[in-house]
Amino acid sequence: MWKWKYATTACLSALSLIAGSVDSAHAQAAGDNVVSLGWAHVAPQTGSGPLTVTSVGGTPVNMPIAGSGSGARSADLPAFIFEHYITNQIGVAFLGGWPGRMQLEGRGVMDSYGVLGDTRTWAPEVVLRYHFGQPDSRFRPFVGVGVNYTWFTDTRVTNSDFVEQSFGPGGTATAHASSSWNPVVQAGLDYQISRRWSVDMLVAYIPTDTNVTLTGKTAGGTEIVSHAKVRLHPIVTFLGISYKF
């Protein structure tokens, strides 16, 4: 997977090639559609409550594991934006990306395990944006507010040491992460480089939480169920090349 600095270099190189033949800028206006392709860096501001054993063999126990915790690691992924301009200043944008894998790691007394597992994350957004300046402005900053729906698929426990020490030799474990609706706030900048092309960048914040359910079985078949509320709250940065039509 590309590193963020490589994505930045690629976008700036494309800018240099296109800008060489440009003589004037024509920014987006009412009725225009804009598609942007680029790279997103997702940096969770993460943490969790303790992992709590809620049942053993079907019997409720509600036993927190003192000092335990978990969190998510940063990720990079290709992403896209489609925006329709309602007026010269106001647009509605849909943001999406390839659902990359987010790694979940142990914290506190579970820190020695490192990565506990991973999950595929889907997090599209719909955002109402206000663009400052006029259609002939080369630089157009914008701010936006909207809504995000985050859900997770193919959540896996991949750390065999964690499974064995939690559920004994021959034990198994599966996991599930809950979905949620969340607000989105963002700010960014469009830089027009030709009649059709521009470079855009933004930063967004999404206060997302998920409830992770860990279900383990011992070799003898005893089921042990645990829960943890994981705070993700990612800061997302995006850099892309846009085409207006």
pLDDT digits (tens, 9 = 90+) for 73-99: 999 999 999 999 999 999 999 999 888
Options 2.40.160.20, 3.90.226.10, 3.50.50.60, 3.60.20.30; which CATH number does 4-244 get? 2.40.160.20
Instruction: Write the pLDDT tens digit of every residue in 96-128.
Output: 988 888 999 999 999 999 999 999 999 999 999
Over 50: is that where the pLDDT of 11 sits? no
Residue 57 CB neighbours (<10 A): 12
pLDDT of 45 higher than 80: yes
- Between 207 and 11, the higher pLDDT residue: 207
What is the pLDDT of the chain when averaged over all its residues? 88
Q: Residue 181 has what pLDDT?
A: 97
* Tens of pLDDT, residues 13-36: 444 444 444 444 456 788 899 999
Model confidence pLDDT, tens digit, residues 191-232:
999 888 999 999 999 999 999 999 999 999 999 999 999 999
3-state secondary structure the chain: CCCHHHHHHHHHHHHHHHHCCCCCCCCCCCCCEEEEEEEEEEEECCEECCCEEEEECCEEEEEECCCEEEEECCEEEEEEEEEEECCCCEEEEEEEECCCEEEEEEEECCHHHCEEEEEEEECCEEEEEEECCCCCCCEEEEEEEEEEEEEEEEEEECCHHHHHHHHCCCCEEEEEECCEEEEEEEEEEEEECCCCEEEEEEEEECCCEEEEEEEEECCCCCEEEEEEEEECCEEEEEEEEEEEC
The pTM (predicted TM-score) of the whole model is 0.82
- Domain ranges in the chain are 4-244
Q: Does pLDDT of 134 surpass 90?
A: no
pLDDT of residue 27: 61
